[in-house]
């Protein structure tokens, strides 16, 4: 399975957070699954760190290959497919991740209820709390 890890789930993963559900953790640890992390999430973490909302070191990106996680860079088709997928969630990073998941045919691993409420054609979601 091809998985796209939401920003919050990546933070939980690297901090061994107990909020990660057993099924989600099993999927994230399975070597048969392809793990992906979006540039949009890196951008989000960088912004939050710069305003004091997140303790984040860019050096964690150097560890992605050791963790078996590929970093995805946006392409023009993904950018063209950007939309507000839930009228109650105008967060640009959430909507960018949804666009990536749809375009690249990834299952998006998230705990965000506003993302989990989205029903869009070709969108596959995994609730990370389960």
Identify any residues that bridge with 2 across adjacent strands, giving them in sequence order.
Answer: 34
- What pLDDT does residue 40 have? 96
Q: End-to-end alpha-carbon separation of the chain, Å?
A: 17
- What pLDDT does residue 42 have? 95
Rounded average pLDDT over 53-65: 90
Rounded average pLDDT over 115-124: 96
> What's the burial of 87, exposed, middle or buried (CB within 10 Å: 0-12/13-18/19+)?
exposed
**Which pLDDT band, with edges at 50, 70 and 90, does 58 fall under?**
confident
Domain ranges within the chain, ordered by starting residue: 2-127
Q: How far apart are CA 61 and CA 70, in angstroms?
A: 10
- What pLDDT does residue 36 have? 98
Tokens linked to 25: 């953790």
- What pLDDT does residue 56 have? 84
- What pLDDT does residue 43 have? 94
Would the pLDDT of 85 be above 90? yes
CB 102 within 8 A of CB 81: yes
- What global pTM score does this model have? 0.94
Would the pLDDT of 113 be above 90? yes
DSSP structure class, residue 63? G
Q: Fold for domain 2-127? A: Rossmann fold (3.40.50)
Q: How far apart are CA 61 and CA 78, in angstroms?
A: 22
- What pLDDT does residue 83 have? 95
**Which pLDDT band, with edges at 50, 70 and 90, does 57 fall under?**
confident
Rounded average pLDDT over 12-35: 95
């Amino acid at each position: 399975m091809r998985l796209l890890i939401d920003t919050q789930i990546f933070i939980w993963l690297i901090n061994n957070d107990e909020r990660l559900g057993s099924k989600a953790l099993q999927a994230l640890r399975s070597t048969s699954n392809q793990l992906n992390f979006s540039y949009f999430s890196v951008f989000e973490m960088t912004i939050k760190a710069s305003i004091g909302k997140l303790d984040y070191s860019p050096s964690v990106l150097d560890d992605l290959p050791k963790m078996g996680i590929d970093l995805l860079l946006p392409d023009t088709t993904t950018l063209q497919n950007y939309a507000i997928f839930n009228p109650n969630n105008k967060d640009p990073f959430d909507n960018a991740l949804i666009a990536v998941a749809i375009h690249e045919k990834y299952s998006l691993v998230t705990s965000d209820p506003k993302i989990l409420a989205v029903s869009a054609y070709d969108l596959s979601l995994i609730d990370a709390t389960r």
